């Protein structure tokens, strides 16, 4: 019985004197981890920067670019229209190749590869018409009439949809959406 009391008393003394020190040490270690994690978060690259990084990795013409969280998905068609690469550009600008095909039908890509207005120019035109951040740019020739579809997220959180003529660069609004999602997903 006496031995149990001495052990309990000794444990209490250790906890009273060592407990605050252990808590302070743990709090300091937690602060260090928090600061390190905050410092490790890279800045988000813009759509224009993601396009430039993708084209540096795989030269050609941007077919589409879409922001998904902090990662850009970029499809690039080679200048001759025969190659296609699916790339991801991270928030830090690092490019990884997800898929590559060198057996494309060049005739299918002719309108895109010969367009006078590139994806980069379409983004610039859309931003001039409606300031914000581009979240999506996509070549669209499904209905027989080619155009660039560009989504811009305004400072108000609303997404603005634009069509950019691939010959003239003229911007027409195709709608506005109050969706404030960060991924720029248009449901396709």
- What pLDDT was estimated at residue 84? 96
- What pLDDT was estimated at residue 36? 41
- Note the pLDDT tens digit of each residue in 7-60: 445 454 444 555 554 444 444 444 444 444 444 444 589 999 999 999 999 999
Cα separation values, 184 from 38, 101, 138, Å: 25, 26, 12
- What pLDDT was estimated at residue 50? 97
* Residue 25 CB-density burial (10 A; 0-12 exposed, 13-18 middle, 19+ buried): exposed
How far apart (Å, rounded) are the C-alpha atoms in residues 55 and 36?
32
- What pLDDT was estimated at residue 20? 52
Residue 96 — φ and ψ, nearest 5°? -125, 140
Could you tell me the residue ranges of all domains in the chain? 1-41, 47-177
- What pLDDT was estimated at residue 169? 95
For the segment(s) 47-177, the CATH number from 3.30.360.10, 3.40.50.1970, 3.30.1300.10, 3.10.450.40 is: 3.10.450.40
- What pLDDT was estimated at residue 13? 46
- What pLDDT was estimated at residue 46? 94
- What pLDDT was estimated at residue 100? 93
Residues of the chain with pLDDT under 50: 3, 6-8, 10, 12-15, 21-42, 179-188
């Amino acid at each position: 019985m006496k031995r149990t009391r001495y052990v309990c008393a000794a444990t209490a003394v250790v906890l009273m004197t060592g407990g605050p020190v252990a808590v302070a040490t743990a709090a300091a270690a937690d602060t260090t981890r928090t600061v390190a994690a905050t410092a490790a978060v890279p800045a988000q690259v813009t759509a224009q920067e993601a396009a430039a990084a993708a084209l540096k990795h795989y030269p050609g013409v941007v077919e589409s670019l879409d922001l998904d969280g902090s990662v850009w998905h970029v499809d690039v068609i080679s200048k001759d229209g025969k190659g296609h690469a699916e790339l991801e550009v991270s928030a830090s600008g690092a490019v990884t190749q997800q898929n590559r095909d060198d057996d494309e039908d060049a005739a299918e890509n002719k309108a895109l590869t010969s367009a006078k207005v590139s994806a980069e120019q379409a983004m610039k035109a859309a931003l001039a018409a409606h300031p914000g951040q581009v979240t999506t740019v996509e070549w669209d020739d499904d209905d027989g009439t080619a155009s660039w579809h560009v989504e811009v997220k305004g400072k108000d959180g609303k997404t603005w949809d634009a069509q950019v003529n691939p010959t003239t660069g003229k911007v027409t609004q195709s709608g506005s959406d109050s969706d404030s999602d960060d991924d720029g997903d248009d449901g396709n």
